[in-house]
A and B are shown apart, each in its own frame.
Chain A
Amino acid sequence: MTAVSKPQAQSPSPWARLRSSARNHRSITILAGWLIIAVGLPLIVLIPPLSTFQPQSLWIDGFSNAGVFILLAMGLNVVVGLAGLLDLGYAAFFAIGSYVYAFGASPFTATQIPFWPMLLVGALIAATLGLLLGAPTLRLRGDYLAIVTLGFGEIVPAVFLNASSFTKGTNGIGGIYKPTLFGFNFTLENPVPYYITMVAILAVTMVLLYRLQGSRLGRAWMAIREDELAAASSGINTITTKLLAFALGASTAGLAGVFATSKLTFVGPGQFGFQVSFTVLAMVVLGGMGNIWGVATGAFVIYTIQAVLLKELNQFFQAIHAPILQNIDFVQYQYLLYGIALVAMMLLRPEGLFPSSRRREELHVDSEDISDIPPPTEALGQ
């Protein structure tokens, strides 16, 4: 075992210099990264074969939808990846954000609060409900917390379904107002304004999340994920710290809900089933828990596969009349495919596609090291 290897300082290559300045100005790097992505993606889809799948405007529209899932995955990453709390009912907060916007800006409630403040309102209300759910349940750990959150994820859509005088029940609330900006109206025909809005939200959220991860609070999350009792013995208020992770994850989902609803202009209780929570969790796990860029990439890849490539796979096999394969509807089997992908990942690359450096070490330690790693956190001794 040697000390950490420092990069050679004698003659830094331009690439190394770029890397080190990117580390020092992380926020600017993230914003620049998103700018490149925002400009690059619409251009990439003009290249075959991507251009043959669907027209550019549909691609751009799809990217905004993918952005919703990236946002959800980044939020869930705070809860699961950073603080180590398994949340199986994350879609509940997505639902809350969605309905908050529907209540604030639809003919059904005869109110029209503008979209931009509603983004904040949706995030705040979701965060508040996250605190309310978290306060009694975060004393539970591991499997028990997972079960309670699973229940919460089922209860919230059920409430929206059954409180029909407020939510129109199973019919859902339609005709929700689209955003406007300085007199400019967002329309369904032009996907670009939604796309730009989404990229801006993602860029700002990511900068904030990176700052939090490096902050005192981020260190407290890390300590709790590693060993809750030792964290408490180090002077970390474990209850508050876990609550903050929960509330922050919830507020991100609320933000995603407001955006998604303003774009879909409809909200119904069927949109927030367990498969949404599961899909987002799969995105976090496949992308690489704890690594914000990794999780975002995982979400983007999975969403694109699910929304575009599976359909294309169907058409491709039908076009070449592949035996057996041409009769399979891959879109229908997407959850089977997720399941297979998750099992394969756990066996072959349990740290995810783009792991944080810490996770990588945790799962691929040299064999001499592993014998000394103590067992995972036990109950706090209550």
Chain B
Amino acid sequence: MTGAPTTTAIAPGASASPAPDDILLRLEDVHTYYGQIHALQGVSLEVRRGEIVTLIGANGAGKTTTLKTISGLLHPRQGKISFEGKDISRTPAHQLVRAGIGHSPEGRRIFSRLTILENLKMGAFTRPQDEIQGDLDHVFELFPRLKERISQRGGSLSGGEQQMLAIGRAMMARPRVLLLDEPSLGLSPILVQQIFAIIQEINSSGTTILLVEQNALQALIVANRGYVLQTGHVALSGASADLRENEMVRKAYLGE
């Protein structure tokens, strides 16, 4: 597989190059494989400080793989990932947590036999345990439900509560960029609204967010910019508002 597929930047604003120090995270022609399977076939994208950026696309387009490649759970075979100007293509996951990349993985993956408090403390594993009280309070402010159930086992929570716990756990490491993989999956419509509101709240307090979503409409409402992934490469990118108006997006992902 060679040659970057054509990427259409539909919004004039999106192609204007921002100041280089403004770019927090940049992927350049990233190729990731599962064994022989060529999952990412040259993904290039960038996330600027303070943004919410969303990745949308069909099942198997490579959204989760992109997040895993960024957070170091997978490594690209080709291409470059840089975070705050440093090349992190080969950095293992646990070091990236310290570096400031938080990942709330697909399927929540909370520690089901640990309590909520233990789950959150595990999220702050990289930090001195006597400095995390403020972060715990912050997470409980965002998710009062978690505080009510602080000593309940993770596995006994409802799907929505588990999702809150997964986000809260990732927040405990004080990430500068938070990768969220399908936070709305399997939640009731009311909970979906809540989760998206909280994502905006987290963002407004200074955390940059890269959001992978099946719920393209909601994602494009909260995000500043978006990328559409198709079979392992970026098919389309631009400001969310423009993507919402784009005919192909409307047909394929917004169900119109």
Contacts and interface: CB of A to CB of B under 8 A. Distances in A.
B212 interface: no
A373 B112 CA distance: 6
A233 B157 contact: no
Interface residues of A, number: 33
B150 A372 contact: no
B93 interface: yes
7 contacts: A222-B111, A223-B111, A232-B94, A233-B105, A234-B169, A358-B113, A374-B112
A154 interface: no
B7 interface: no
Interface of B: 34, 68, 71-74, 92-94, 97-98, 103-105, 107-114, 121-123, 125-126, 149-153, 155-159, 162, 169-170, 173
A238 interface: yes
Contacts of B153: 361, 369
A312 interface: no
A4 B151 contact: yes
A378 to B, nearest CB: 9
Contacts of A4: 151
A232 B73 contact: yes
A369 B162 CA distance: 13
A369 B122 contact: no
A219 B73 contact: no
B105 A372 contact: no
Given A223-B122, A229-B109, A235 B173 contact: yes
A230 B110 contact: yes
A235 B112 CA distance: 18
Contacts of A348: none
Interface string A224-259: 001101111111111000000000000000000000
A234 B68 contact: no
B176 to A, nearest CB: 14
Nearest to A378: B107
Contacts of B103: 233
B164 to A, nearest CB: 14
Contact of B155 (A238, A369, A380, A382): A369
A362 interface: yes
B125 A234 contact: yes
Interface in A43-60: none
A235 B169 CA distance: 11
Nearest to A222: B114
Given A230-B109, A369-B153, A374-B108, A381 B122 contact: no
B185 to A, nearest CB: 13
B98 to A, nearest CB: 6
B109 A374 contact: yes
A334 to B, nearest CB: 34
Most buried by B among A227, A234, A370, A374: A234
B111 A227 contact: yes
A185 B151 CA distance: 55
A39 interface: no
A365 interface: yes
A104 B239 CA distance: 73
B126 A233 contact: no
Which residue among B93, B110, B173 has the maximum number of chain A CB atoms within 10 Å of its CB? Answer: B93
A113 B252 CA distance: 77
Contact of B159 (A3, A223, A235, A372): A372
A285 B126 CA distance: 32
A16 to B, nearest CB: 20
B123 A374 contact: no
A313 B119 CA distance: 50
A220 B159 CA distance: 25
A83 B173 CA distance: 23
B119 to A, nearest CB: 9
A1 interface: yes
B113 A234 contact: no
A219 B122 contact: yes
B94 A230 contact: no
B158 A372 contact: yes
B94 A373 contact: no
B156 A237 contact: no
Contacts of B105: 229-230, 233
A374 B98 CA distance: 27
B125 A374 contact: no
A368 B152 CA distance: 13
Contacts of B113: 226, 358, 361-362
